[in-house]
Amino acid sequence: MKLNRLAVALVVGGGLTLGAVTLTVAQEDEPRIAFPADFASEFTLYMEIDRVQNPGQVMRIYANDVALSGLDSEGRFPAGSILVGQIFAARTDADGNVIISDLGRQIIGNPAAVAVMEKEEGWGDAFPDELRNDDWDFAIFSPAGERLDRDLNACRSCHAPLGDIDHVFSFQHVPLP
Ligand code: HEC
């Protein structure tokens, strides 16, 4: 949610301007990332991780072909790159404790959400430094693709400090050419 200021000029017949009032209206962020419905078949799965960020969850991370085509001369992903973090709850035992398998790993349970990073030319321009992730932006959906109402500035501020690796936590795992 953000606040937009609208300046409204009151104009009376004949073009006489009586005055201007400023209205402040609350408006949803314009959602600019669409649910990448075909990610599981069209994108490349490059990592499955017991989440560092949220223990008790497993994330499968996918990249589209644009992201995998290579970085630019400054080490950044090209416009059109999309990364998807498909989030699952880890399976728990009868007491609600996360089960760790004999391999020392969490076990994938129910799908929980689909987190998306997408980069397009100029998308980062409006953000202050602490929320800017080059030209990446963020969205999160239910497993079925409905947009979830989350504070996307939390996503932006946690990924923002990773400027050296273009804001991608799993950067070293991306199979770049
Ligand atoms: C407090 C830090 C933090 C917040 C908040 C956060 N992330 Fe992440 N994100 C991570 C970490 C760490 C990873 C690596 C996998 C893991 O351990 O979860 C990650 C991985 C990802 C990935 C896979 C690509 C990559 O960077 O490796 C996507 C996509 C992603 N996050 C999107 C989001 C979205 C969307 C939100 C907000 C709804 C969000 N993140 C909020 C820390 C964060």
Report whether residue 59 contacts ligand 1, using a CB cutoff of 6 Å: yes
Q: What angle do CA 93, 99, 102 make, to 5 degrees?
A: 130
Question: CATH code at 91?
Answer: 3.50.70.20
Report whether residue 77 contacts ligand 1, using a CB cutoff of 6 Å: no
Task: Give the pLDDT score at 16.
Answer: 46
Closest to 24 (Cα-Cα) out of 10, 54, 4? 4
Residue 21 within any structural domain of the chain: no
In whole angstroms, give the CA distance from residue 2 to residue 8.
19
CA of 115 from ligand 1 middle (Å) equals: 8
Report whether residue 158 contacts ligand 1, using a CB cutoff of 6 Å: yes
Residue 96 within any structural domain of the chain: yes
Residue 16 within any structural domain of the chain: no
Task: Give the pLDDT score at 7.
Answer: 41
Report whether residue 113 contacts ligand 1, using a CB cutoff of 6 Å: no
- Dmax over Cα atoms in the chain, in whole Å? 82
Residue 3 within any structural domain of the chain: no
- Would you give per-residue pLDDT tens digits along the chain (177 residues)? 444 444 444 444 444 444 444 444 444 457 899 999 999 999 999 999 999 888 899 999 999 999 999 999 999 999 999 999 999 999 999 999 999 999 999 999 999 999 999 999 999 999 999 999 999 999 999 999 999 999 999 999 999 999 999 999 999 999 999
Please tell me the total count of domains within the chain: 1
Report whether residue 154 contacts ligand 1, using a CB cutoff of 6 Å: yes
55-65: burial string, b at 16+ Cβ within 10 Å, e else: ebbbbbbbbbe
Task: Give the pLDDT score at 29.
Answer: 56
CA of 85 from ligand 1 middle (Å) equals: 8
- Residue 63 to residues 6, 25, 44: CA-CA distances in angstroms? 39, 37, 5
Report whether residue 155 contacts ligand 1, using a CB cutoff of 6 Å: yes
Residue 24 within any structural domain of the chain: no
Residue 13 within any structural domain of the chain: no
Name the residue type at position 105: R
Residue 91 within any structural domain of the chain: yes
| Closest approach atom of ligand 1 to CA 170 | 27
Domain holding 164, by residue range, is 32-173
Residue 18 within any structural domain of the chain: no
pTM value is: 0.87
CA of 169 from ligand 1 middle (Å) equals: 7
